[in-house]
Amino acid sequence: MNPLIKPFRESLEMLDRVQAESVFQQALTTLSPIQAVEQVVVPALEQIGAAWEAGSVALSQVYMSGRFCEELVEHVLPPSDPDRKHQPRSAIVVLSDYHMLGKRIVYSVMRASGFELFDYGRMGVDELVARAQADKIRVLLISVLILPSALRVRDVCTRLKAAASGIKVLVGGAPFLFDAQMWQEVGADAMGHSAADAVNIVEGWMGEMQ
Amino acid sequence: MNATTMNSMQRTLTTLGQQEPDRVPLFLLTTLHGAKELGMSIEDYYARAENVIEGQLRLLKKYRADCLYGFFYASIEVEAWGGSTIYLPDGPPLCGAPIIQRPEDIDTLKAPDVATAPCLQRVFAAIRGLKAAVGDTVPIIGVAISPFSLPIMQMGFDKYIELLYEQPERFEKLMAANIAFSVAWSNAQLAAGATAICYFDPMSSTTNIPRELYLKTGQQVAKRAIAQIKGPTATHMASGRCLPIMADIADTGTAVVGVSGLEDLGELKAAANKRVSLLGNLNGIEMRRWTPEQAEAAVKCAIARAGRGGGLLLGDNHGEIPWQVPDEVLLAIGDAVERWGRYPLDWVEEYLAVT
Ligand code: B12
């Protein structure tokens, strides 16, 4: 494990941008940008996500650190950089819900981890099913906050399966945290407990899809 | 007092006094089910106070709960501030676009007048109607979103987190306006007949901000607001965690804490240390797919872990039963409280020994 993970994570949790930036620069003296992202930024965000799930880190810290890492990584790995992970073709959306923070955090953490993905904003079922197929999406990340929206994921999954789209669906958000069986009930392929989970799961699928 | 003749109010006050009443009070906070009961859409239901009065009274009887709930939906407060509400056919009404678009808007923000905002008058009328129906026999719970949590709806969660960390002066301005509003809003509900105010404050939960920040912000705001609210308060975390700050919440002068199903009720009770009572912590989301047997098991477990000695109001962990929860589950919860909630809870020792 890279010894810089710990100081990087600690500075993020303290919201100490100057310190986090300096640790990141230190990583860049021996590592390429994508290596620094994978060996320092991703593990630190993963630990923060796991700590939130366990109750020892707060959402405000998760949000601020995700946003900050996104900016940091944007700098060294601009969207056009060939080292960015453009595959599998992915998109993130808030389904029939008005609460955008979950998506914003997951998007930041994915981008801070070197991924590029479409941000669909908020959509209803019909629009989402049509758009994901038209864009030839392979991995669809869905975030919701209220229960009726979580249950609507079922319509999305049923229709994507019926169309044999091959699109894999990853869900997350409060209702899925409170009912551990719900992601299976609605026909999703996986659920993430935290934003950092999204990175792990999509990376796993990336391997399978190649 | 003869324990077998306690009414809901006596039962509740006894348990809040950390004594054992005749049975564990059931604080089943149903809202949207009133619309189902009256065969109306959720939007129509909330358009008239009479509907909510009728709905609440029917639900009280049907599910044998020990309280009435004057809560309409959180966004009604945002409406008073000039915002809008989005109605769903199968879920709670939600707030529309934020009323604070840019942080600078806070500089000229003024709290609305509680006595004239039309949407709030419906809530007062509902509480007055409930009070006229039950007098002092059943507690009527009013609701105020805490001044510290309201900005999530006023400006959006992301923008509010940024404000909290980056603009302390503007944050303080916003709190001053929100405290004035919340206090007036709470006191008007008490004047209309509410017995207590449920002070929804999930922003203070350790799920959302770290304890150090809570002590500097949410706790100070709660102390200032609760001191001016002329009745008892129940601070609700809306299913956010609070075990590490239980004593800090008790320091705000609140009487009850609404706790999450993500934390152990026994540990929460120990942390409450008889300084506050607990409200919770059945999982309302999971409840949707419970069998009657699972409902009974959940009730039994909660009572075993926190019922002895009083200080427990049994309810869900969020402060509102979701629309999707079927009747048979809610009826099974009532049955289970009847069956396992009678004091003295002499079955508990053995139950805890084997589980
Ligand atoms: C704070 C809070 C409030 C505040 C502010 C709400 C807001 N955001 O607007 C107040 C007090 C105002 C409030 C009001 C209401 N609330 Co509320 N509230 C909460 C609480 C505590 C946190 C909500 C939140 O925004 N969290 C931040 C988000 C980002 O967290 P998250 O979704 O868990 O996301 C994280 C992970 O899940 C993951 N993730 C998210 N999406 C994705 C996607 C993918 C692909 C992956 C991998 C991961 C992932 O990453 C995120 C960061 O780690 C939750 C309970 C809880 N413990 O979570 C209830 C909760 C959201 N509230 C709920 C409800 C019902 C309401 C109301 C509708 C009540 C009412 N009748 O008025 C209102 C609606 C307000 C509105 N906007 O109009 C319910 C919703 C479920 C349901 N029953 O339908 C919840 C879940 C409570 C519960 N246990 O039932 N609430």
Say what the alpha-carbon torsion angle B215, B216, B219, B220 is, to the nearest 10 degrees: 140
Tally Cβ neighbours within 10 Å of residue B98. 19
| Chain centroid to CA A159 | 23
| CATH class of the structural domain A5-76 | mainly alpha
Q: Which of B151, B209, B202, B155 is nearest to B319 (CA)?
A: B202
Angle at Cα A177 formed by Cα A172 and Cα A180, nearest 5°?
Answer: 105
Q: Which of A143, A127, A142, A138 is nearest to A167 (CA)?
A: A138
Residue B51: per-residue pLDDT: 98
* Closest Cβ opposite residue A178 in set B90, B209, B283: B283
Tally Cβ neighbours within 10 Å of residue B86. 12
Mean per-residue pLDDT over chain B, rounded: 97
In the predicted model, what is the mean pLDDT of residues A54-80?
93
Mean per-residue pLDDT over chain A, rounded: 95
Would you give the DSSP letter of residue B113? P
A163 interfaces chain B, CB cutoff of 8 Å: no
Q: Output A74-79 pairs: Cβ under 8 A, ≥24 positions apart.
A: A74/A111, A76/A28, A76/A33, A76/A36, A76/A37, A77/A33, A77/A34, A77/A37, A77/A114, A79/A116
Please write the tens of the pLDDT for every residue from B73-107.
999 999 999 999 999 999 999 999 999 999 999 99
A99 interfaces chain B, CB cutoff of 8 Å: yes
Ligand 1: lining residues by beta carbon, under 6 Å: A 52, 59, 62, 99, 101-102, 105-106, 141-143, 145-147, 170-175, 177-178, 192, 194-195, 197-198; B 73-75, 91-92, 94-95, 145, 149, 152-153, 157, 200, 202, 207, 238-240, 284-285, 318, 320, 322
Please write the tens of the pLDDT for every residue from B125-153.
999 999 999 999 999 999 999 999 999 99
Q: Which of A51, A67, A154, A76 is nearest to A106 (CA)?
A: A67
Residue B3: per-residue pLDDT: 53
Please write the tens of the pLDDT for every residue from A23-41.
999 999 999 999 999 999 9
State which ligand 1 atom lies nearest to the alpha carbon of A52: 53
CA distance B335 to B305: 19
Of A109-113, A139-143, A189-193, the one with minimum mean pLDDT is A109-113
Question: What are the domain boundaries of chain A?
Answer: 5-76, 90-209
Contact criterion met (CB < 8 Å) for A99 and B206: no
Residue A84: per-residue pLDDT: 83
Residue B4: per-residue pLDDT: 67
* Closest Cβ opposite residue A60 in set B90, B209, B262: B209
Tally Cβ neighbours within 10 Å of residue B43. 14
Of A79-88, B47-56, B337-346, the one with minimum mean pLDDT is A79-88
Question: What are the domain boundaries of chain B?
Answer: 3-354
Contact in structure between B313 and B21 (CB atoms under 8 Å): no
Task: Return the residue of A nearest to B263 by Cα.
Answer: A55
Would you give the DSSP letter of residue B111? P
Query: Is the pTM for the entire model greater than 0.95?
Result: yes
CA distance A85 to B23: 60
CATH architecture of A90-209: 3-Layer(aba) Sandwich (3.40)
| CATH class of the structural domain B3-354 | alpha beta
CA distance B22 to A56: 38
Query: Ligand 1, atom 81: nearest CA belongs to which residue?
Result: A146
Which ipTM was obtained for this model?
0.95
Contact in structure between A131 and A95 (CB atoms under 8 Å): no
CA distance A116 to B100: 31
Partners of residue A155 in chain B, C-beta under 8 Å: none
Please write the tens of the pLDDT for every residue from B263-304.
999 999 999 999 999 999 999 999 999 999 999 999 999 999
- Tokens 């998506």: give the residue: A103
CA distance B353 to A88: 52
Residue B2 pLDDT > 80 = no
* Closest Cβ opposite residue A61 in set B158, B210, B263: B210
Query: Ligand 1, atom 10: nearest CA belongs to which residue?
Result: B149
Partners of residue B261 in chain A, C-beta under 8 Å: 178
Q: What are phi and psi of A165, to 5 degrees?
A: -75, -25
Of B2-6, B24-28, B122-126, B223-227, the one with minimum mean pLDDT is B2-6
Query: Ligand 1, atom 46: nearest CA belongs to which residue?
Result: A172
Please write the tens of the pLDDT for every residue from B182-213.
999 999 999 999 999 999 999 999 999 999 99
